[in-house]
Structures are given as structure tokens and as C-alpha cells.
Structure 1
Amino acid sequence: MRVWIVFLLCLAGHAIAAPETEVGTNPVQVEVGEFDEAIEIEDVVENPCLNYHCKKGKVCEVDDSNTPMCVCQDPSTCPAAEGEFEHVCGTDNKTFDSSCHFFATKCALEGTKKGHKLHLDYIGPCKYIEPCLDNELSEFPLRMRDWLKNVLVTLYERDEDNNMLTEKQKLRVKKIFENEKRLQAGEHSLDLLARDFEKNYNMYIFPVHWQFGQLDQHPVDGYLTHSELAPLRAPLIPMEHCTTRFFETCDADGDKYIALEEWASCFGIKERCGQRLHHLSSSDGQQQFERNF
């Protein structure tokens, strides 16, 4: 009997505690209805910056009308460098933590005299580079020509998927690769390099012009700017202290652009070989370049 009394008291207590509901109303339906009304479904809008590309040093932001635009990146938002191998040196002889920090800083200086003069000089922390003497400057093209030739031969040997050289380029390099008179890669005296250039002049024409074509990309107009030279300057300068002076000397007319004939002349290639691209437009230049060289 006591068990029944306890059971009835529990039922009574539960009835008192339960909220009042209207007759015929399902409490569960009321709770679900209230929950649904509390949810606001928002349309998912695609980020306008998702496929909007900006040049180095800039990031995409949207204005009040949700239109994407490129603005200078804050250097403090660049990822922290993981080591000295990520540091770069600017032409102002200042070390930047990374290329991201460099280009963001250069962007902030756009339109100023300092920003116009600031370029990426080389990879790694800034260090003292010995002055290039006149006799060393005259020797630089000898080593550079040989280096370019060997770079092309190496690409030919490793280019199995045709990702590095076109078929026309491979045919050109194949002739150099199979030539039994080719000077093998290695440490050679300057006299030997000079004699080889004189005897095997034709082997060096294509490598010199190929490198020009590789650098002349933004746009393809038959001229090299300081920015276009950066991919070649950056790895070379730490090894060759005459690199900067050499490229400055190539700009014979001092107009801040290196034309193909100026580039060829720097390497001792006859001028008539270098004039073929000078008059071509950016749209036709690369195709004509490949046909001629």
C-alpha cells in the first residue's frame, strides 16, 4: 500500500510541475515551432576575392559595393620566416625576413623615389660583396656563357615530360648535347673557355638567346627590366660578385632596359643575331623568337 501512495504522490508532483498547454496541442510541436522561428537562414555569398589574383606584395579586399580590389599587404601579416634561407636582400642593402615582407614593403613605397629604386637583389641575408674589378668584369661573360650552355644541356637530359623545353628547343639543344667537340661541365681556365667560345661559337648562340627568352616574360617585348632580371640575379649574386655590374653594363644606352641586341653583345654574340626580336610586338615576339633561334 505504501508503494502505491508514493507512486500517486509522484504523479501528482509531476502534474503540478508540468507547464500548462492548450487542449489538443502537442507540446513537442510547440517547442519545434519556436526553435524553427529562432533560426535565421542566410544566403551563402561566394567570396569575390576567391579567384581574384593580385601581384606580389598585394592582397585582395572588397570595397563597400563588394567589388574586389588589390591593396598593399601589411608586412606584419606575412608568415614568419622559418630560417635564414627564407631571408632576401634588397637593393637598399636591407635584409627582409622573406620575399613576402620584401614585396609588401615595396608595394607600400609605390610612387616614391625610394620605392622605384628598391628591387630584390639576391636570396639570403645581405652581406658584403666585393667590388667587381674591370678585369673580372671582362671574364664574367666567359663563365656565364659556359654556365648557360650547361644549364640547357642538363635540362635536356632531365626533360622527360617536355615540361621544361619545347620540342623546337630540344632539337636545338640536342645538337649541342651530341656534339663531340662540346666542352664538358667543370672548372676550366679562362683561357680554355675563351678558346672554346672562338672554336665552337655556334654552340653558345642559342643558350644566350634562350636565357633572354626565359626572362622576357612580363611582357614579351624584346626588353629586360630589372624585375625580369631578378630570377637570374637572385641566385647568381651570392656566387658572382660581378653580376650586378655586368647587367648594368649590358644596358649600353642607360635607358633602364636591356634590349636583345644589348644582351647578345654583352655575351660576345654578333649584333645581327640579336636584332631579330627588337621590332617584334609582345604577341608575336615569342613565336618569332623560337623560329629564329
Structure 2
Amino acid sequence: MKGWTLALLLLAALALTSATSKKLTKKAYSDSDKKHVAEMQRKLDQLIELEAELESEIAAAENDDENAADNEVVEEEEESSDEENEMLDAPEYIPDETEIYADPCAEMYCGAGRICVVTDEGEGECRCVNNCDVEEDPRRRVCSNHNETWMSDCELYRQRCLCEEEDASCLNLKYKHVHIDYFGECQAVPECEEDELEDFPRRLSEWLFNVMRDMADRQTLSDHYVRLEREAEEHPEKQWPYAVVWKWCQLDSHPKDRAVSRHELFPVRAPLYTLEHCIGHFLDSCDGNNDHSITIREWAKCTKLSEDQIDQLEDLCEDITE
């Protein structure tokens, strides 16, 4: 840029000098004037030579810049090509076995009172919880089916696990089947009268269908059960059996084996116990053979469904495996 600026200045000076020279030539009649004009002409010739030199230098500089830019592009292309060749020539990377690690506990379900640990062989294994956090908040207390208050659900389930494993830390073998009856410290619960127990299936079914309807409206039910709920809305006689089977299928969770364990009954028993003091007696009556699990047929009978309804129930569940 400096070269071009100087060149423009020189051209301007040249034009001015040329114009002045022409004016002076016309007026130069004396010898002194002729000498002055000759001196101006000489300077004019020098400016023309200087202009030519500047133009030559500017052209050379531009040529050098273009060559340098071309060289940079070529060098970048060569470096890129070298890197690509190095990548192609490099041997395929095969990670070492120690670098490939998948958590063996990631897909493992252990249940309450147990935790998955990785063994020395690198396999996941469910073991009883070593210890539970000390709970000072009385709201964390739970009452068991033995009418005993435990400091937390963790303590209760840990003890059940230890007894199931026949560990030396098991306090009493009766805890192999201990479960939570309700939240909070144990309290005096009224006795369930016979007529109350007789009417309990109706109250339970009505409550379950109201919950099912609410969940369908809030879109928290699966599409399968939403269809059942909508069908029951149009056919009220189906509300009772559909609500009953929906809850049983929902309780059959880990594993889905067409049987609901006493532990799996916890989501129904615990929150209702202090409100519906017959819930414990009712659920106990559902386990006809006292094997600590309730099949769909046992559940249907204790909720007073007809034999025709019972035969259709299993087909209403989704995602159940043998």
C-alpha cells in the first residue's frame, strides 16, 4: 500500500510539473528562463525514471506475495496428505480386554434389602446391605406385619435378607417373611369386624377404579390399560374386574411371574392400613395356600369376581412372562 501511495504522489507531482513546464516554455524568452525550463525538464525526467522504478518494484512485490501464498497452500495440502497417509498406514487399534468394561450390575435387580456388588470374577451378585443409615426422623419409622416398629424400611429389609440367607446376623427366622404393614410407628388399629371384611372387596374395587381413571386422565397409564379404562367407562359392569386385574398386574413387578409376593403387595397395604384397617386381614385371606404369594386366580376369588371373569383375567395383563 505504501508503494502505491508514493506512486500516486509522484504521478501527481509529475502532472503538476508537466503543466508548469508547458506554461514556462511558452513564456521563456530570455536565457535565464530557458535555463530554468531546462532544470525543470531535468527534474521531470528524474521523476519519470523514479516512477518506472517504483512500478517495477510494486509489480515484483505483488508477484512475491502471490508466490508465497501459493507455496503456503501447497505446504498445507502436503501436510494434510501426509497426515492422511499416516492414518491409513497406522495399524487398526484393538482395545485391550481391560479397557472394555461393562458394569455387570447395570442390568441387575436385587430387590429391597439387597445391593449388587461386583465379585472377584467380575460378575454382579446380589448381597444383603451391609448397614443402613441411622435415621433420627420418626417419620422414617415403619411398622411390620409382626406389629414391631423398625427404625427404617432399610433396617427391616436388611434383616429379612439376612434371615433368607440364614446369616448369623439374622435375629429371628420369622423375619424371613417380614414386610411393612404401614408407615410410621406401630399403633393400635381397630379390629376388622366381619361385616367390614365382607364389604371390603367392593370398597377396594371402587377405590382402585377411581385411581385407574385418574391415572388415565393424567396420561400416566400405558396405552393398554387406558383402553381397558375407556372400555369400562362405557360398560360399568367391567369397572370392578378391570380395576382389580389392573392393580394385580401392576403389583406383579419383580419378577413378572404371574404371582404377587407379600413384598409386592406393599404399595397397596402400607398406604391404606391406617385408613382401611381391614386391608391386612383381606390380603391375608387372598393367600389361600399360605405360600406368601398370590396368583391371579387367588386375587380374583378374594375380590369376589365370578368364575367367568376369572378365566379372562390373565389375558388382560401385559408384559407377563412365565
Q: Normalising by structure 2, report the TM-score.
A: 0.58
Matched, 1:215 2:251: yes
TM-superposed deviation, 1:170: 1.4
| 8 Å Cα contact 2:232/2:242 also seen in 1 | no
Q: Compared with structure 1, are the counterparts of its residues 56 and 261 closer, same or farther at alpha carbon in structure 2 (3 Å cutoff)? A: closer
| 8 Å Cα contact 1:261/1:273 also seen in 2 | no
Alpha-carbon distance in 2 for matches of 1:69, 1:168: 34
More relative contact order, 1 or 2 (CA 8 Å, 6+ apart): 1
Matched, 1:247 2:283: yes
TM-superposed deviation, 1:226: 0.9
Alpha-carbon distance in 2 for matches of 1:111, 1:226: 18
The aligned counterpart of 2:318 is 286
Q: Compared with structure 1, are the counterparts of its residues 66 and 252 closer, same or farther at alpha carbon in structure 2 (3 Å cutoff)? A: closer
Q: Deviations over 1:249-286 (max 9, x none)?
A: 122344433221221222221122223456x8xxx963
The aligned counterpart of 1:126 is 186
Q: Deviations over 1:164-216 (max 9, x none)?
A: 2122321221244467xxxxxxxxxxxxxxxxxxxx43222211111111111
Q: Deviations over 1:217-242 (max 9, x none)?
A: 22323222212212211111121111
| 8 Å Cα contact 1:110/1:116 also seen in 2 | yes
Q: Which has the larger radius of gyration?
A: 2
TM-superposed deviation, 1:92: 2.4
The aligned counterpart of 1:194 is none
Q: Compared with structure 1, are the counterparts of its residues 277 and 206 closer, same or farther at alpha carbon in structure 2 (3 Å cutoff)? A: closer
Q: Deviations over 1:23-50 (max 9, x none)?
A: xxxxxxxxxxxxxxxxxxxx99979677
The AA in structure 1 aligned to 2:318 is Q
The AA in structure 1 aligned to 2:127 is V
Q: Normalising by structure 1, report the TM-score.
A: 0.63
Q: Compared with structure 1, are the counterparts of its residues 138 and 104 closer, same or farther at alpha carbon in structure 2 (3 Å cutoff)? A: same
The aligned counterpart of 1:37 is none
TM-superposed deviation, 1:64: 5.1
Q: Compared with structure 1, are the counterparts of its residues 209 and 52 closer, same or farther at alpha carbon in structure 2 (3 Å cutoff)? A: closer
The aligned counterpart of 1:202 is 238
Residue segments in structure 2 that go unaligned for 5+ positions in a row: 1-97, 167-172
The aligned counterpart of 1:88 is 142
Alpha-carbon distance in 2 for matches of 1:122, 1:240: 11
Equivalent of 1:235 in 261, 271, 275: 271
Q: Among all aligned residue pairs of Structure 1 and Structure 2, give the percentage whose two residues are the same amino acid.
A: 30
Give the root-mean-square deviation of aligned CA atoms: 3.2
Larger % of helix: which?
Answer: 2
Alpha-carbon distance in 1 for matches of 2:216, 2:237: 20
Alpha-carbon distance in 2 for matches of 1:277, 1:177: 18
Structure 1 residues 207-216 or 118-127, which shifts more?
118-127
For residue 292 of structure 2, give the secondary structure of its aligned residue in structure 1. coil
Matched, 1:110 2:164: yes
| 8 Å Cα contact 1:220/1:286 also seen in 2 | no
Q: Deviations over 1:126-162 (max 9, x none)?
A: 1122221211111211211110111111111211xxx
The aligned counterpart of 1:59 is 115
Q: Compared with structure 1, are the counterparts of its residues 154 and 225 closer, same or farther at alpha carbon in structure 2 (3 Å cutoff)? A: same
